[in-house]
């Protein structure tokens, strides 16, 4: 499979126009994390290094063709002293498949600080690699993420709360050393954040196989981190109804620092399964 360095190597083809490469894929449609990651790389190419991305909001408009490259058009919405805003549209065959707004904050701003504590979870080396627990059919498609080490914490090893409708915790990291550039780690995490999150909505419904797909995706980046070191993805699904499900995730590093937060809505239709759904959960 392609490395994350290859996936995120977008090509500048004109001012504020970039092309994200396509690679052989097991998936029926372009993985949402790939589109989001390439869109974010495109946006960062137009922003001064004095700024770092702090949030993104994306909408998946159409299923992408994994065999086709995606062209990204960047609009320079605003360049301010403290914040900079970009809008990115991903296009295949003349149609928009993805749109994203990304906001960048000047590096070095100061203010008061607090954060939630990291939830209890067994250490990553106490949890099996996801590939060890999947069926042969699931493994054949899960190879899409072969360069990522993904470990879903077993329910028996989780401390849960009755106040949450659905909970799941996942350790994950990129398996190989990555460049030191923090921008690269942020864009890699944008790719990774789409992994397994919709699967948290299936925890209360283990025997249901929905038609699942990401609809929209929002992220906030709070503190520096490395995507090639273990990160704990604490996931919940507060609600599912009308064929849609809301999921949320908090991402902590091994030191317990909250480095990013994610909110995603996805399809959860029943009776219209596509055979793609097991990619949304590492179980």
Query: Any idea which residues carry the catalytic annotation?
Result: 194, 214, 264
Interatomic CA distance for residues 277 and 257, integer angstroms: 31
CB 136 within 8 Å of CB 143:
no
Nearest to 170 by CA among 119, 228, 116: 119
Contacts 24+ apart (CB under 8 A), 18-21: 18/42, 18/45, 18/71, 18/72, 18/74, 19/69, 19/70, 19/71, 19/72, 20/69, 20/70, 20/71, 20/72, 20/90, 21/69
């Amino acid at each position: 499979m392609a490395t994350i360095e290859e996936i995120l190597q977008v090509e500048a083809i004109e001012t504020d126009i970039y092309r994200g490469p396509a690679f052989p894929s097991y998936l029926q449609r372009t993985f949402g994390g790939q589109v989001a990651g390439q869109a974010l790389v495109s946006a960062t190419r137009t922003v001064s290094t004095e700024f770092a991305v702090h949030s993104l909001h994306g909408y998946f408009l159409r299923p992408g063709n994994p065999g086709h490259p995606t062209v990204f058009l960047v609009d320079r919405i605003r360049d301010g002293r403290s914040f900079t805003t970009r809008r990115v549209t991903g296009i295949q065959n003349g149609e928009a498949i993805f749109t994203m707004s990304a906001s960048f904050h000047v590096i070095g701003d100061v203010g008061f600080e607090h954060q939630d504590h990291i939830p209890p979870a067994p250490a990553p080396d106490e949890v099996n690699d996801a590939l060890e627990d999947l069926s042969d059919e699931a493994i054949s498609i899960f190879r899409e993420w072969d360069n990522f080490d993904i470990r879903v914490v077993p329910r028996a090893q989780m401390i849960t709360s009755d106040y949450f409708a659905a909970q799941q915790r996942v350790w994950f990291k990129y398996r190989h050393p990555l460049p030191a550039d923090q921008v690269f780690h942020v864009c890699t995490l944008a790719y990774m954040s789409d992994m397994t999150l919709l699967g948290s909505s299936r925890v209360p419904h283990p025997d249901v196989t929905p038609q699942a797909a990401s609809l929209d995706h929002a992220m906030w980046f709070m503190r520096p981190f490395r995507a090639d070191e273990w990160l704990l993805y604490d996931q919940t699904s507060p609600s599912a109804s009308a064929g849609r499900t809301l999921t949320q995730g908090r991402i902590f590093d091994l030191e317990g620092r909250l480095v990013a937060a994610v909110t995603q809505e996805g399809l959860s239709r029943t009776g219209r399964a596509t055979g793609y759904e097991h990619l949304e959960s590492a179980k």
